[in-house]
Amino acid sequence: MSIVKKQAFGNSVVQYAGYIIGLINVTFLFPNIFTSDQFGLTRILIAVASVYAQFSALGTNRVMMRFMPMFRTEDNKNNGLLLIGAIMPFFGFILFTFIYYFFQDNIIGLYNERSNLFIDSYFYVVPLAFLMLYTSVIESYLMGMFRTVFSNFLRHVLIRLLWTVDILLFYFGIVDWEEFLYVIVFFYSLNLLILAIYLVARGGFSFKLTQRFKRRSLYKVIGNYGFFSMFSGVSNFLVNRIDIIMIGFISVSGLNDAAVYSIAVYIASVIFVPAQAIGRISFPLIAEFWRKKDLTKIKDLYRASARNQLVIGGAIFVLIWANADNIFSILPPEYAYGKWALFFLGLAKLFDMATGVNGAIINATRLYRFELYSSIFLLVVAVTSNIVLITKYGLIGAAIATALSVLLYNLLRCVYLMRQLKMHPFGIKSLYTVLVLLAVLLLQTFLPKIGGHMVVDLVVRSTLVLALLSSSIYYLKLSEEINEVVRKLAIRVRRK
């Protein structure tokens, strides 16, 4: 498990660094430099392009991680797996570009009334989707090689720094609005180029397909897995974007609500950083364990991921909610009503983290077909609940719909793994962790607010909340791994 700890730590550091940069962009630069409609448009463009890219991948990302143990070579050439990763998405992109163009009037019709700015920028989505598609392909290939930190750096740090540069170019009048969008496309191209150069430098670039891997039977298995992975991956991915996409054409305020909601989404996303870091390395490891038929290691990883994700994610959630008023006080007043959207989106992230790497286990084993069925269930629940709740409660309804969908989806996957592999992620410490989090969440509401001194209040409130959480987590031994890290740090301090 050392490789999980090492790369998960590295990925967490990278993602939190990227989060700080993104936080400056989303909570300070965008709201104060752009109109809410312009800000909302950038969020919708990225969301639509991401879904477009996910459809176009045809399940390639999961195929590459799932079959890397079979294709892997000592020199990282991987017997032509990269060739498969290049060809499948190309045909997928051609297919979905045709669909995107053919249904142009229908898609534009959805946004015509409340989000006119999207109509003018409709075709920026195409190059963005292409660049995101092949970026994700190379990232998946590197994940299969257990090289995740650099690609994570590009995705979470470099691209956000480039957004910052583009925002400042707009602010100083060097580029106008349309040129701002052109520059974004250029920066995503630059990001893909750097990633490709890194792959070549690491010796992993090879399209050579050896004779051993030209068997029809193998490609039947790959095609079958890719088919199921495509639909399940798209459904899962779409649910994480469907709320903001639907806000754009259902909510009365359209792009304005999309802008406010995006801030809540971004702040809540920090809760999920540890899960993303663990997930990037867990999938290829589980695939390797499954190939070796080592269910014990899969079970251990499942329980450890759920335990640590609940503790860390829960602590971050309580800390963010304790400072929600402080966070929104630095934003323009029109963004204040996003506070309760943040609460429910935070719960959604926490529900997902509390159930560990259940998705990785399903997708990396013989159970992968179930991911399609559960994802269809998730998509139906998400779309239905978003339509009903956005219509009634606006962007807060979208957040509630997301939380409800994620909760039901993960419970379904947990029950399925329990029935099929006789493993589940919960223990008595999971209950203790929930009780501790609830207690601290309640206690912090009684802390007096230091009026007129937002920074002082944030520091004092955060210090008290962290003290309560950290002492409870350590003395109740809610996470063996965290306690081990604390003990090692204490030994190092004593030696100095």
Sorted by where each begins, the domain ranges of the chain are: 2-426
Is residue 353 within 8 Å of 309, Cβ to Cβ? yes
When pLDDT is averaged across residues 318-328 and rounded to a whole number, the result is: 92
The whole-number pLDDT of residue 357 equals 87
Tens digit of each residue's pLDDT (9 = 90 or more) over 191-248: 999 999 998 887 766 666 665 555 666 667 777 777 776 666 666 666 677 788 788 7
The whole-number pLDDT of residue 288 equals 81
Tens digit of each residue's pLDDT (9 = 90 or more) over 477-489: 898 888 887 888 7
Distance between CA atoms of residues 306 and 301, nearest Å: 9
Could you tell me the pLDDT band of residue 3, with boundaries at 50, 70 and 90? Answer: low
List Cβ neighbours of 179 (8 Å cut-off, separation of 6 or more): none
Q: Which of 180, 186, 179, 185 is nearest to 166 (CA)?
A: 180
Lowest mean pLDDT among 64-73, 94-103, 338-347: 64-73
Is residue 140 within 8 Å of 68, Cβ to Cβ? no
Residue that wins the pLDDT comparison between 494 and 445? 445
Could you tell me the pLDDT band of residue 1, with boundaries at 50, 70 and 90? Answer: very low
| Token pair for 98 | 């045709």
Could you tell me the pLDDT band of residue 379, with boundaries at 50, 70 and 90? Answer: confident
The whole-number pLDDT of residue 255 equals 76
When pLDDT is averaged across residues 448-453 and rounded to a whole number, the result is: 76
Which DSSP state fits 251? Answer: S
Residue 74 has pLDDT above 60, yes or no: yes
When pLDDT is averaged across residues 304-332 and rounded to a whole number, the result is: 90
When pLDDT is averaged across residues 248-272 and rounded to a whole number, the result is: 82
The whole-number pLDDT of residue 284 equals 74
Highest mean predicted confidence (pLDDT) among 3-12, 19-28, 465-474: 465-474
The whole-number pLDDT of residue 465 equals 94
Determine what percent of the chain is predicted with pLDDT higher than 90.
32
Residue 185 has pLDDT above 90, yes or no: yes
Go through 42-73 and write b for each residue having 16 or more CB atoms within 10 A of its CB, e for each that does not: bbbbbbbbbbbbbbbbbbbbbbbbbbbbebbe
Residue 43 has pLDDT above 80, yes or no: yes
The whole-number pLDDT of residue 93 equals 94
Tens digit of each residue's pLDDT (9 = 90 or more) over 75-112: 656 666 777 778 888 999 999 999 998 888 887 777 66
Highest mean predicted confidence (pLDDT) among 38-47, 61-70, 314-323: 314-323
Amino acid residing at 377: F
Lowest mean pLDDT among 349-353, 363-367, 390-394, 438-442: 363-367
Neighbour count for residue 446 (Cβ, 10 Å): 6
Residue 6 has pLDDT above 70, yes or no: no
**Burial classification of residue 244, based on how many CB atoms lie within 10 Å of its CB (0-12 exposed, 13-18 middle, 19 or more buried):** buried
When pLDDT is averaged across residues 244-256 and rounded to a whole number, the result is: 76
The whole-number pLDDT of residue 105 equals 83
Distance between CA atoms of residues 207 and 60, nearest Å: 15
Mean pLDDT of the chain: 84
Tens digit of each residue's pLDDT (9 = 90 or more) over 382-407: 999 999 999 898 889 999 999 999 99
Tens digit of each residue's pLDDT (9 = 90 or more) over 325-338: 988 888 888 888 88
The whole-number pLDDT of residue 2 equals 52
The whole-number pLDDT of residue 9 equals 66
Is residue 439 within 8 Å of 469, Cβ to Cβ? no
